Chains A and B, each alone.
Chain A
Amino acid sequence: MGSGFLDVIKPNLSIQIATLKLKNPVMTASGTFGYGEEYSEFFDVSRLGAIVVKGLSMKPKKGNPPPRIVETPAGLINSIGLQNIGIDHFLNEKLPLLLKFKTPIIVNFFGDTVDEFIKTAEILSTHKGIAALEMNVSCPNKEAGWRIFGTDPKILKEVVSRVRSATNLPLIVKLSPNVGDIASMAKIAQDGGADAVSLVNTFLAMAVDVKTRRPLLANIVGGLSGPAIKPIAVRMVWEVCKAVNIPVIGMGGIVTYKDALEFLIVGSKAIAVGTANFLNPFATIEILEGIEKYMVEEGITDINQLIGSLVIDYERTYNN
C-alpha cells in the first residue's frame, strides 16, 4: 500500500509499557470513548495504540443528577459521577465486543473502599483478553470521609500496593492532579508497584450562573478537562517523568498532534486523547497520522528517539 518511498521510511511508532506492547502511543482517555463501539462507526479503532474504557466498579453506578456538564472557555467541566454498568455487565456484554478490535483493551476501574479496589482488580484479572488495568485513584474514599484516594499519600500507598498484590496484569495508576506535589505522588505509585502512571485526570473546578447565582452543575463541582488544562498537564507530566523510572502516559487537553508531541517530548511514552473525541470523533486517528507525518518530516525513524527529547538550555534556572 501507498508509495514505495513512504514505505521505506515509515517510522517505527511502537512502544512498550511494562509487558504491554503498543503499535503506537495513541490511546483513548477513560470515560471519553465509551466502550469503543460508540466510535467504531467512525473509523477503524483497531488502529489505535490501545483503548481505555470508561471507569468500572464492582456494582453498576448511577452517577450524578443532571446537569452534568458545562462548557467553560476552551474547557469542559464534568460531574458524571462515575456512572458505569458494573464489571459483570462489562465482562459479559462489552468485553467480547471490544476483543474483536485488534488493539489492547485497558480497563479503567475504581472502588469506594480499598477492599473494593482489590476485589475488582482480582475479578478483572481472571478474565482473558484484558491487556492492562488502569486504577483511577481520583475517586472518593468511603472510609476516609470521602477524601480522594489519590490526594492522601498514605492511602495512595496502601491502595496501590494492595492492588499490586491482587493482579498480575500490567498496572497503571492514574494520578489525581489535585495535589501540591504530583512528582511525589507518582513516586509513591512507583514504590507501591505500579508498572506505569498516567496523568492528568481532571482538575477540580466550578462554574456559576451569574443570573441565577446558582452553580451550573447539579453536583456543584466537577472536573475540568480540555485544551484549557493542557499547559498545566504538560508541566505535571514533565515533573513526573523526571521523578520516576516507570513509563508515564500523558494526557490533558490534547486536541492536535502538536499537543501530543509536547507530551511525548517531555517524556511520556504514550498519550491519551479525551475531550478532543467530543470535538472531533476522528481526533485520535488524526493525531496518530500527524505524529507519523511529523516524524517523517523531522527524519525521526523511531518514536523512542522523540520520547523525552526535551532540550533545556538553561537547566540551572530550574530549582529542583
Chain B
Amino acid sequence: MLQAGDNLDPLLKRPFSILDYDDELLYFLFKKKGKGTIYLSRINKGDVITLLGPLGNGWPAPQGEFIVIAGGIGIVPLMLLLKQHRNKAILFYGAKNENELLMLEEASKLVKEIYISTDDGSKGTRGLITEIFNDFLVSNSSCKDLTIYCCGSPPMLKAFSKLIREHNLSCYASVEEYMACGVGACLGCVVKVINEADSEGFHYKTVCKDGPIFNLKEIIWDQVF
C-alpha cells in the first residue's frame, strides 16, 4: 500500500500491485482515479512516500503452460508471473481502448500466444476479453485443463466467474476491495467466500491478508456493480 504526503486527506494508503523489481527499485504502475492516486502522480524524484508491504499472498506457481486473462490495469499483478514463467502463457488482454492496453509490448514478449481485445475496436478484436476467451475455448477444448490467472475490474471478474463455473475451469483471480489497515486487523476489505462447513455456506475473507488472490470459483458475488 502506498501514500504520498502525510496529510490527513486522503487518510488511508491505497493498495497497489508490484509491477516489477530489481536490486534497488520497486516498480509500480497505476491509473489516476481519485485523491490517493492523484497525489501519488504528483510526486517528484527525491520525494518520500510511505509504503506498507509486501502484503497478502501471491500466485500459486503454474505447472507448465497456463492462461492469463487481464483487463486493463489488471495486467500489473500478472507481469511478474509472466516474467518468471517466460513463454509458458497464453495471454488474453482486454481494455477499453488501445491507450489502456498498458505494458502490451513488454507482455507480448513474455508469452507464447496473445489475444487482444478493446471495447471500441481500436486494437485487436472488438469486444470483451472474456468473450474472446470463451470463443477460444470452443475451438481449443484441450486448454480447459490449463490453470487460469486473472485480474481485472470487479464487473469483469463477476462475468468471468460465471464462465469459470459453466466450464468448470480452474482459475485464480486477484480481487479488489477498499482497504484500511492492510494487515487483517480491521476486517474492512472482505469478500464472500464459499465455506461448506458453515450453516449459511459462506464466510468473509480479507483481501489484504487472505488474498488478494483467491480461487475464483469460491467467491460469491452479491454486490451491485
Q: Please report A residues at the B interface, Cβ cutoff 8 Å.
A: 31-34, 38-39, 41, 54, 62-63, 65-71, 73-76, 78, 80, 83, 214, 218, 226-227, 255, 275, 277-281
Contact = CB atoms under 8 A, between A and B. Distances in A.
A38 B56 CA distance: 12
Contacts of A62: 200, 202-204
10 contacts: A39-B183, A54-B187, A63-B204, A66-B178, A68-B187, A70-B178, A71-B10, A71-B11, A74-B8, A278-B180
B11 A74 contact: yes
B52 A281 contact: yes
B191 A278 contact: no
A38 B203 contact: no
A187 B188 CA distance: 33
Contacts of A31: 186-187
Contact of A76 (B12, B200, B222): B12
Interface of B: 8-13, 50, 52, 177-192, 200, 202-204, 222-224
A63 B11 contact: no
Name B's interface SS: loop
A62 B199 CA distance: 11
A74 B50 CA distance: 17
A80 B187 CA distance: 7
A277 B224 CA distance: 30
A67 B187 CA distance: 11
A69 B206 CA distance: 13
A68 B188 contact: yes
Contacts of B192: 65-66
Nearest to A74: B8
A218 B223 contact: yes
Given A71-B10, A74-B8, A278-B12, A63 B181 contact: no
From B10, B179, B202, B204, name the one whose CB has the most chain A CB atoms within 10 angstroms: B204
**What are the 9 tightest A-B residue pairs by CB atom distance, in nearest-first order?**
A34-B185, A69-B188, A38-B185, A278-B180, A278-B181, A74-B8, A38-B183, A227-B8, A80-B187
From A68, A74, A278, A280, name the one whose CB has the most chain B CB atoms within 10 angstroms: A278
From A68, A80, A218, name the one whose CB has the most chain B CB atoms within 10 angstroms: A68
B189 A255 contact: no
A68 B190 contact: yes
Name A's interface SS: loop
Given A67-B177, A67-B178, 17 more contacts: A31-B187, A32-B185, A32-B186, A34-B183, A38-B181, A69-B178, A69-B188, A76-B11, A80-B186, A80-B187, A83-B187, A214-B224, A226-B8, A226-B11, A278-B12, A278-B185, A280-B50
B177 A66 contact: yes
Contact of A66 (B10, B11, B190): B190
A69 to B, nearest CB: 4
Contact of A255 (B8, B12, B187): B8
A70 B12 CA distance: 10
Contacts of A255: 8
Given A62-B203, A68-B188, A70-B178, A227 B183 contact: no
B52 A69 contact: no
A279 B2 CA distance: 11
Contacts of B203: 62
Given A65-B223, A67-B223, A76 B180 contact: yes
From B177, B182, B186, B203, name the one whose CB has the most chain A CB atoms within 10 angstroms: B186
A26 B129 CA distance: 52
Contacts of A279: 11-13
A284 B8 CA distance: 17
A74 B9 contact: yes
A277 B8 contact: no
Contacts of B191: 66
Nearest to B180: A278
Nearest to A218: B223
Contacts of A214: 224
Given A32-B181, A277-B181, A63 B187 contact: yes
Contacts of B224: 214
A39 B204 contact: no
A63 B192 CA distance: 11
Contacts of A73: 9
A315 to B, nearest CB: 32
A34 B185 CA distance: 4
B223 A69 contact: no
Given A65-B192, A67-B223, A78-B188, A227 B11 contact: yes
A162 B90 CA distance: 65
B184 A38 contact: yes
Nearest to A82: B187
Contacts of B9: 73-74
B12 A71 contact: yes
Nearest to B3: A279
A80 B180 CA distance: 12
